[in-house]
Structure 1
């Protein structure tokens, strides 16, 4: 049975670290949530480590810049680990070849040029990655839609069919299907990967709920001085990414019900209806350790 919490402070002393999602938990793409910021600051003040674990397809430095732009104070977190970081490691290792075709927005250019310290050292030892037209590629790197404000996966059907015909593997840098930007719902790279798989294409994932991003987060957490075998709580509003991923890693989870799924649990996103929440989770055969309307 999932326990509904009043606040993150209810768990003080139980966990050494949290792996906290960004979109839908800490911000909505346009503004930070003050109560969520305060909750993470309070967790750090009690001695815990805050790892912001996001399926953003961009490297860590880009996410830091975004959070600064949203006025998220740096004392609300210790580390940031992105799906982009984990996917960069896959790309650099040649998971989809060294000649790749990129599907993504101009804002994702840093994926190919900006590597965190540990990844930069690895990149220096590997042959270069070359971006080429689709017909010349050995694989596809998908960071998202070129224009997620106007496009849908249907706009990519011809390109995806060609990729499938050429038997190109796709590296998906963001497994999320959708994300909410303010009150708008936008498609992510995961939606294109899902469409590609439906055509029979081969797809590799590196973000939540898949192991590579958790492996990277644990390694960086250890390097930051966390105790051996730390007690970790995964926080997120993505039931298929944050929660399923945390459970798959054997970690406790906190489902933020007032994010992507807010409309399912009654009129007040801050306070989910327990019966509706239990029924929905039973249908999914998932049982997060805890739930909360909004992170606070």
Structure 2
């Protein structure tokens, strides 16, 4: 059975990896503050001449990512750029390349964020509707609110209310769902927060058509390799989700580092930087997911 190699911080990453794809939530920060050694670890990677690219399932546009990291204490100069699921979704809706996108329609039921800040649809020419009967497609950016268009405040909504709306769309039929963040859960301090990928799971279970825009889809890794101008074997993906970060990297031929202290911390008993990883338990746990990361770290550390 597969056991990933335990790294002793980013300084022990082999020299063959010239590019590093970093997830955000659960790797760099917990949604509220950076992890203890994350800022130093990123700077060490950059100082070693590695190209560090953020590869995030965030449903926000890529341009918003680095400024937020800078506010947390990270140095913008340490990063080669950022790719987000939100950017991929925005571009697909803007360019409308391919039959599916051309035939999608413009009337959308928009599920977005509330307290975390709603996501703008500016420039996409969409008409936001609030009744499933009027929707030509569902756009899931968040899990907290029902959008009413950029000129109005979104309406706070509970998860069970979202389920009811999704069921109405599924019953209607022919209403595809675009998930602009495929993550199922993310870290929020010490808690876990339901993400748009969870809504996608529900809708698929209702018989609905679901399109996930982000990791683990191959398109995001193709774009990342193009941005870095590197081959897959020269790049290392770092993430805390076996279903998205590790699965996506493996499928793209990219080696990976699994961060055990992220969304799976409770499963693995890794809550603080000093906690040791039980490699025997990790081996069995990874086998249940058919996941084979190349390396493992408790947290991103220098």
Instruction: Please tell me the TM-score bracket, short chain as reference.
Output: 0.7 to 0.9
Report how far residue 60 of structure 1 moved: 1.2
Given candidates 221, 225, 238, the residue that maps to 1:235 is 238
SS at match of 2:37: helix
Matching residue of 2:192: 185
Contact 2:17 2:235 survives alignment (8 Å) = yes
Given candidates 33, 36, 39, the residue that maps to 2:35 is 33
Cα distance between partner residues in 2 of 1:220 and 1:71: 24
Output aligned runs, 1:184-263, within 5 Å. Answer: 184-221=191-228, 226-227=229-230, 231-263=234-266
Structure 2: runs of 5 or more not aligned: 147-155
SS at match of 2:109: strand
Does 2:112 match 1:104?
Answer: yes
Does 2:287 match 1:282?
Answer: yes
SS at match of 2:299: coil
Matching residue of 2:160: 154
SS at match of 1:109: coil
Report how far residue 65 of structure 1 moved: 3.2
Matching residue of 1:120: none
Tell me the C-alpha RMSD between the 2 structures.
Answer: 2.2
Report how far residue 44 of structure 1 moved: 1.2
Matching residue of 1:119: none
Cα distance between partner residues in 2 of 1:211 and 1:152: 32
Number of residue equivalences: 278
Matching residue of 2:153: none
Output aligned runs, 1:74-89, within 5 Å. Answer: 74-89=76-91
The 1:281/1:248 distance shift into structure 2, 3 A limit, reads same
Contact 2:17 2:236 survives alignment (8 Å) = yes
Give deviations 1:106-140, integer Å, cap 9, x for gaps. 52323x227xxxxxxxx7xxxx3332333222211
Contact 1:41 1:76 survives alignment (8 Å) = yes
Cα distance between partner residues in 2 of 1:130 and 1:160: 18
Give deviations 1:16-67, integer Å, cap 9, x for gaps. 1011100011001111124122112111111110011111100012223322
Does 2:296 match 1:291?
Answer: yes
Report how far residue 152 of structure 1 moved: 5.3
Cα distance between partner residues in 2 of 1:247 and 1:187: 25
Matching residue of 2:58: 56
Q: Which moved more, 1:228-237 or 1:191-200?
A: 228-237
Structure 1: runs of 5 or more not aligned: 115-122
Cα distance between partner residues in 2 of 1:186 and 1:267: 18
Matching residue of 1:141: 139
Q: Which moved more, 1:71-80 or 1:266-275?
A: 266-275
Matching residue of 2:151: none
Does 2:277 match 1:272?
Answer: yes
Contact 1:58 1:84 survives alignment (8 Å) = yes
SS at match of 1:159: helix
SS at match of 2:82: strand
Report how far residue 172 of structure 1 moved: 0.2
TM-score where L is the length of structure 1: 0.86
The 1:36/1:154 distance shift into structure 2, 3 A limit, reads same
Greater fraction helix: 1
